[in-house]
Amino acid sequence: MASALRRFLFAIAIAFGAAACQHGASSSDGDPALPGIAKIDPELTAKLAASAKGTNGAKGAKYTNRLALEASPYLREHAHNPVNWYAWGDEAFARARREHKPIFLSIGYATCHWCHVMATTVFEDEEVATYLNQHFIAIKVDREERPDVDDVYMRAVQAMTGSGGWPMTVIATPDGEPFFGGTYIPRERILPLLRELREAYDAHPDEVAAQAREVSARIAAQASAPTAAGLPDADAIDGAVRAIGASFDAAHGGFGGATKFPEAPVLDLLLRAARARGDASALAMAVATLDAIAAGGIHDPIGGGFHRYATDVAWRVPHFEKMLYDNALLSSAYVSAWQLTGRGAYRDVAIETLDFIDAELGDPRGGFHAALDADSPGARGAPEEGAFYRWTYEQLVAVVGAADAPQVAAYLGDRTPIDPAVFARARPLLRAARAERARPPSDDEVVVGWNGLAISAFARAGLAFDRPDYVARARKAAEFVLGSMRDDDGRLARAWVAGHASGRGGLDDHAFVIAGLIDLFEATGETRWLVAARELARTLDADFSDPDGGWYATASDARTILARTRSAADGPTPSGVAVAAIDLLRLAELGEDDDAAALRARAERAIAAFAGAMSVSPRGNAALWSALSLDRAEPLEVAIVASDPRDAAPLLDVVRRTYLPEAALALLAPDVPFVAGKVARDGHATAYVCHRTRCDNPTSDPHVLEVQLAPRR
């Protein structure tokens, strides 16, 4: 019986996972006509009145639940569902244990299209809400606010179904152990599912508990110490690139079939391999993918920036939300590609993307918002996915004229090449017309780690393109993060929400911000950023360190949810383990010799700890292969010293346009240890290039410097 029930639970989890992207309520919980549905009771009304957060449309709302008291934009979107939602916390689990009810856990984020659909069609349905409120304890989680909760339950859903996504739907025991997982579940299927699950929970509690323990054991096993296979040698990088090439789509660019994601960590690895190892196939895959992405439907040629992914194999049909992390990572990739190839088109795409980030996601306090929604009001006023971005042919005629409309339609429809002068004329007209439309909502959370990625992108582009405004924007964001989102112990918060720092920063947040600070130091020569990076690196090691190698996803004093997880696998962003390893390798080159050896050894232990996973899935662990590439590269130290910074412009220009992922840069930064003793010779700006323990002759000649910076293999 037990095995049959478990097979049943796994089967329905798989069925519902494939669909995406209390017995008797007390009278105080609901309306007598609709038992169990949340309403504005006196206690909640008092809390709302006392809370600055509790103004989310409560006046006149038919239903208001506890989420009206939350700061998260995503949670507040559900504050007037008839579902009696709880935010993640002890109160919900205590009630579930007290009333012997399973947990209904729903995880999503503010700009998720299918989260909106499920909210409207499922969670606003009174029949569904009545059943949920009577038979489950419903918890809503914002994955941007609680990535630790999301990570654990995503692992559970993937273990049960083989895939995952958002909205994520999990049914768990009152102790939080999951026994069902899925993603989007439509209205017509959710009530039968909930009834089946509740009946199984009541009739076969031991079997359900066994299923939950089995899933939890899988999560714990994934979180156990990684099996170290030793540090791979440099030749293994070539094998990883070849393995990634096996899934390369030569016809359309990118990797795998539909759905197509940008996979920025893979692009970074390929560009590094092209520079360090002269790998022509790696370069070909990278530029083909970057070309396809820029020419495809996920690139917004009117307003700039990139959508989340393409739903088809040829990059034509986008899923329309725009995330800060995608745009930061891709703009940085185009900067690298411009430095490596010299193609002006890559510089143009990077600039358009960074301008979009600043204009559309910039927060006046200095940081960057998380995302723009996929949905916006359509012609009939109801939210529609992509309504802000789509055009009918008649609209194009009205905006650009009958003569240009056919070519513009062809270009916007499937990116058919057209006369560039036509789109140059049409773009400002289309942009002005689109500005009159109802805009997509913005998720105004300032997520710390994603801001670290943006700081990197603006700093790297500012240096590469000689754009002081981009460097200033990176500096402004870094000042906000360090000034407003770091506690007295030096640890970063997770986000800035509703005017306050919120949550505890995880591994990714610290690793990404450290990377941004190092890039900002290299762009400015201001040692305060290097000092801050070193301070955060010490926090990282003290609070997140894994004695078996690498780092945990959460700090040592964080409350564990089923298991304290660790992973080097990339997601939409590169893995925190990989970025932290790269951070330490970079800090090693920029620090004192004694520190350098310890930092390098720490990074190598992290890479070695996950060598087995790297070998099994090179594409899924691309960022860690990039860390190995940096570790195995001959360290390169580049210093430029000058009595007058203006005299350094010709030398700086050479560094700006050269792709140097293996280099430590000290540009007009005299306080870096490897700059000690280096002077401007004969009063002229002078470049010093050193390879490990061997230095080239100092030079004031830009042409000589160009030769010195060329790759040596």
Neighbour-count burial for 605-624, b at 16+ CB within 10 Å, e otherwise: bbbbbbbebbeebbbbbbbb
DSSP-derived 3-state class of residue 663 = strand
Cβ-contact 275, 340 below 8 angstroms: yes
Rounded Cα gap, residues 443 and 345, in angstroms: 30
Question: Which residue ranges make up each domain of the chain?
Answer: 2-222, 235-373+443-632, 389-436, 636-709
The pLDDT value given to residue 35:
35
State phi, psi for 684 to the nearest 5 degrees.
Answer: -100, 145
The pLDDT value given to residue 60:
64
| Cα dist from 384 to 142, 304, 439, 442, 691, whole Å | 22, 21, 11, 15, 56
Q: How many CA atoms lie within 13 A of 187 on its CB side?
A: 14
With respect to CATH, is domain 2-222 assigned 3.40.50.10680? Answer: no
State phi, psi for 106 to the nearest 5 degrees.
Answer: -125, 125
Cβ-contact 573, 449 below 8 angstroms: yes
How is residue 302 written in tokens?
């009117």
- Other CB atoms within a 10 A radius of the CB of residue 108 amount to 28
Question: Of 38, 228, 283, nearest to 608 (Cα)?
Answer: 228
- Other CB atoms within a 10 A radius of the CB of residue 634 amount to 12
User: What single DSSP character describes residue 647?
Assistant: G
Question: Of 454, 403, 457, nearest to 426 (Cα)?
Answer: 403
DSSP-derived 3-state class of residue 144 = coil
The pLDDT value given to residue 378:
86
Bridging pattern class, strands 686-691 and 636-641: antiparallel
State phi, psi for 556 to the nearest 5 degrees.
Answer: -65, -25
How is residue 407 written in tokens?
């070519």
The rounded Cα 56 to chain-centroid distance in angstroms is 27
Please list the ranges in the chain whose pLDDT falls under 50: 1, 17-19, 21-41, 52-57
User: What single DSSP character describes residue 619?
Assistant: G
**pTM, whole model, 2 decimals?**
0.92
The pLDDT value given to residue 47:
59
Rounded Cα gap, residues 613 and 315, in angstroms: 29
CATH number of 235-373+443-632: 3.40.50.2300, 1.50.10.10, 3.20.20.140, 1.10.357.10?
A: 1.50.10.10
Rounded Cα gap, residues 57 and 68, in angstroms: 9
Neighbour-count burial for 505-517, b at 16+ CB within 10 Å, e otherwise: bbbbbbbbbbbbb
Alpha helices by DSSP H, 28-146: 42-50, 73-77, 90-99, 113-118, 126-135
The pLDDT value given to residue 49:
54
H or E segment at 291? helix 280-295
> How many degrees, rounded to 5, is the angle at CA 554 between CA 164 and CA 549?
100
Question: Of 408, 430, 327, nearest to 370 (Cα)?
Answer: 327
| Cα dist from 5 to 12, 197, 369, 544, whole Å | 11, 11, 45, 39
Cβ-contact 41, 472 below 8 angstroms: no
Cβ-contact 286, 274 below 8 angstroms: yes
Question: Of 543, 507, 565, 508, nearest to 225 (Cα)?
Answer: 565
List of residues 6+ apart from 192 with CB closer than 8 A: none
The pLDDT value given to residue 18:
44
The pLDDT value given to residue 153:
94
State phi, psi for 669 to the nearest 5 degrees.
Answer: -125, 85
The pLDDT value given to residue 247:
97
The pLDDT value given to residue 6:
58
- Amino acid identity of residue 141, one-letter, is V
Alpha helices by DSSP H, 415-568: 420-434, 448-464, 468-484, 507-524, 527-544
